[in-house]
Amino acid sequence: MFDLALLFIMALAGGMVAIIGFFVILGQRISEPKRELQQKIDNLEEEIRKLKNNK
Indicate the range of 1-10, 29-38, 40-49 predicted with least confidence: 29-38
pLDDT value at position 35? 80
Confidence of residue 36 (pLDDT cuts 50, 70, 90): confident
pLDDT on residue 7: 94
Q: Burial letters for 11-24: b for 16+ Cβ neighbours within 10 Å, e otherwise?
A: eeeeeeeeeeeeee
CA–CA–CA angle 10, 21, 30 (5° rounding):
165
Contacts of residue 25, Cβ cutoff 8 Å, sequence gap at least 6: none
Number of structural domains, the chain?
1
Range of the domain at 30: 1-55
Q: For 11-22, how does the pLDDT look when each residue is reduced to its tens digit (9 = 90+)?
A: 999 999 999 999
The whole-number average pLDDT for the span 22-49 is 89
